[in-house]
A and B are shown apart, each in its own frame.
Chain A
């Protein structure tokens, strides 16, 4: 028995040592890839391909080794990037541990932690490279680049999203709205809905007339997500209802002219009280999902994907992409027939409700929104920063850009005789599949990219904005709805006022990064905690007036004025910066 033990111990140690020998000789064990494809080590013109690492402080999916398009891009640019994403940690923890471990990736998007990276001197300045690489310089105007400058006067990252080449071609409305299912509008013969009262009345009436889906699931007139930072669904409607755009944390009142902006707290306005009172009434009537205050994000999406929810207030990107799949799946009705939710008319369209009928609103923002608080950056660990910037520059070449987002011609998209790109149903399905994307597609989604028009002047940079792709993707009831209202796109449907964005817009790019070592920062955090508790409470309350009073009292205790003062200071600062570039108030 003893000898057996010793022998097995020796054997296992030998096993361990030999495996480790294999590991440490440097052959990355992962390249024993049974897919067989020999990852080429040289580019087309014989240079060796360099491997970079990239980390993004956001959730994402890793690509497989030997990914088709990744290899193609590597051949053309000489660089292959292995991306890693945020998992199981908050961005702060991740950035902190990466800094402390001393091992930085070559490229990084620090998300909320970008400033921390900068403060620790770990990023390479873009300034000189901008002069050398025109594609990169083209990303933003001088004025916009200046917004990225840190205290020492240099630029350390560039935000890659929401940047349209030539002009904004968004077909959808990616932002916030009161959404309603198309079939509800159809049932009421496509009425004009402008106020909360009209909206909820319609939801109630429809629910009373059609309490169930064909498969028997009961309908929920309205729900709202309150989880963590997504509680904006409940919280910031008063800002929009008063006709203001999405500054995220406050209303910026320009009644006295655009050169005299005044910050107003939307949490204490009359509209706010009216809105929550309305929700309270609806909750009492049973029109609001009883679980709205405690539901998790997964449960929320699950509810939406069954098609039961008639109306909600949210931002498009938060829910729409996750329900597309289920909406297109066949379901069985109680009478044995099959039906599809999108064909039933469960798709959502945005309504730009306002406090009073006839008011103009700015739920939709037509211009690009610049978020200068984070972006793609090159770290000081990168052994060849010049190559890194050359690579980022090359990513913006149209042919490579198309490889990233459209794919390989003939495989992922086809070109018609007018030069327009289009996809077959099968191609679209492929691009929704995680495993296909892991093997084949390579978007480098946190590296510089464009939205808007393609440089060829005909197509769009992103397939989602290609008109043909957009229209093909619409189910029949949705198309009918647009026709009934005489519009062609979501943004037209929403009908927001067409405004040029103010110099300080969007203010959420400041408030999202507010640090908690200023009194305003602390106040903002406490205000958030208070609202998380009180907003659902007042909606569900039996005595609205007294609970509202308690909420306002608790809110006042957080010292919101400290925050508002800092917000006003930021607005003024941004205004001054714009003026220095020659901005004047429009008459």
Chain B
């Protein structure tokens, strides 16, 4: 009986599953190849053709003149970006918030999924799960309004802390740059944990119950079962999601940071997307070239992360993206 635990041990040995490039194999798989060709065409049309637009990043793009008519400026836009202290600061912010979000949301979502899985009562389990993903459907506008309100000087948090004596006077949480990243991470967790956990819950259901039974027979307790059955069973899913989300670290967001930010915390709150909105999408001076240049930068960084992490995963014998 195959399962993920034994599989990862086996790939160090002879990999009989490695594809063999022979004509015979080709004929055997012809239908797979044929269908994938269709997908490739589709992908080229809808995803790769627009990449031609990257030329804009090297021009002073004016819509009326189009790609062929706009003036070529080479790396000027990129130079502007990287010589701007603000842009570098903004990269730092986006990266920091992205990493924090990735780490915490993964851990908390997995923990939640596992804990929820331990619940025996089906009704309780179902209701908790349904409740947990509800905030996902609320827009950031609403969630931020609540978070913001709770953190004002007359908000709930200050009320509780002052009545407990932990604080002597209300504290201006929203104006403290040191706390901003934490507030952002918490808001993400609040809103998305339930939703993120759905994938893990679905993955847990695919773990063979026999494994749990045999673990019980071997005398494993609850926590040991979690460590030796559940987590390894989740490992491929965790790795894949982790890999994919690593590429998204620089997409750490726009709406949340935009709504939660203010003048006092602007040095830590502004993300790459907010910067682009400010400098490239200002109606008086639409600079698509600058926006595209920043987009290319983000793609390059994302792909680098992905390739490197994928390589590490491959070496460790883990599930990998490609």
Contact = CB atoms under 8 A, between A and B. Distances in A.
B263 A533 contact: yes
B263 A57 contact: no
Interface in A65-109: 90-93, 95-96, 99-100
Q: Which 10 A-B pairs have the closest CB atoms?
A: A112-B283, A532-B263, A113-B283, A92-B283, A515-B285, A294-B174, A120-B64, A91-B283, A92-B281, A290-B153
Interface in B152-167: 152-154
A112 B263 CA distance: 23
Interface in B267-302: 267, 277-279, 281-288
Contact of B152 (A92, A295, A514): A295
Contacts of A290: 153, 170, 172
Interface of A: 57, 90-93, 95-96, 99-100, 110-113, 115-116, 119-122, 226-227, 231, 290-291, 293-296, 298-299, 512-517, 521, 525, 529, 531-533, 535-537, 540
9 contacts: A93-B281, A95-B283, A95-B286, A96-B288, A290-B153, A294-B148, A294-B174, A294-B175, A516-B287
A69 to B, nearest CB: 31
Q: Which interface residue of B63, B153, B282 has the most chain A CB atoms within 10 A?
A: B282
Contacts of A293: 172, 175, 262-264
A296 B284 contact: no
B63 A294 contact: no
Contacts of A93: 277, 281
Contacts of B287: 516-517
A121 B284 contact: no
B266 interface: yes
A471 B170 CA distance: 43
Contact of B282 (A92, A226, A231, A298): A92
B283 A57 contact: yes
Q: Which interface residue of B64, B282, B283 has the most chain A CB atoms within 10 A?
A: B283
A115 B62 CA distance: 12
Contacts of A536: 175, 263-264
Contacts of B278: 525
A226 B288 contact: no
Contact of A299 (B149, B175, B264, B286): B149
Contacts of B264: 293-294, 533, 536-537
B284 A113 contact: yes
Contacts of A100: 63
Given A96-B288, A113-B284, A294 B149 contact: no
A91 B278 CA distance: 11
A111 B266 CA distance: 26
Contacts of A96: 63, 281, 286, 288
Given A112-B282, A293-B172, A535-B263, 8 more contacts: A92-B281, A95-B283, A116-B284, A116-B286, A293-B175, A295-B152, A296-B145, A536-B264
B86 interface: yes
A514 B283 CA distance: 10
Nearest to B65: A120
Given A291-B152, A299-B148, A299-B152, A120 B282 contact: no
A99 B63 contact: yes
Given A100-B63, A120-B63, A231-B263, A516 B285 contact: yes
B283 A90 contact: yes
Contacts, number: 104
B283 A529 contact: no
Contacts of A296: 145, 148, 259
Contacts of B154: 291
Contact of B286 (A92, A111, A226, A533): A92
Contacts of B262: 226-227, 293-294
A294 B145 contact: no
A112 B285 CA distance: 9
B85 to A, nearest CB: 10
Contacts of A112: 282-284
A363 to B, nearest CB: 25
Interface in B133-160: 145, 148-149, 152-154
Contacts of A95: 283, 286
B266 A291 contact: no
Contacts of A515: 282, 284-285
A117 B41 CA distance: 36
Contacts of A92: 277, 281-284, 286
Nearest to B86: A529
A119 B287 CA distance: 13
Contacts of B279: 516, 525
A299 B148 CA distance: 9
Contacts of B267: 533
A120 B62 CA distance: 8
B281 A514 contact: no
B87 to A, nearest CB: 12
Contacts of B284: 92, 112-113, 115-116, 512-515
A110 B279 CA distance: 18
Contacts of A295: 152
A91 B286 CA distance: 10
A57 B283 CA distance: 10
Contacts of A298: 145
A116 B263 contact: no
B263 A226 contact: yes
Contacts of B174: 291, 294
B266 A532 contact: yes
Interface in B85-119: 86
Contacts of B62: 119-120
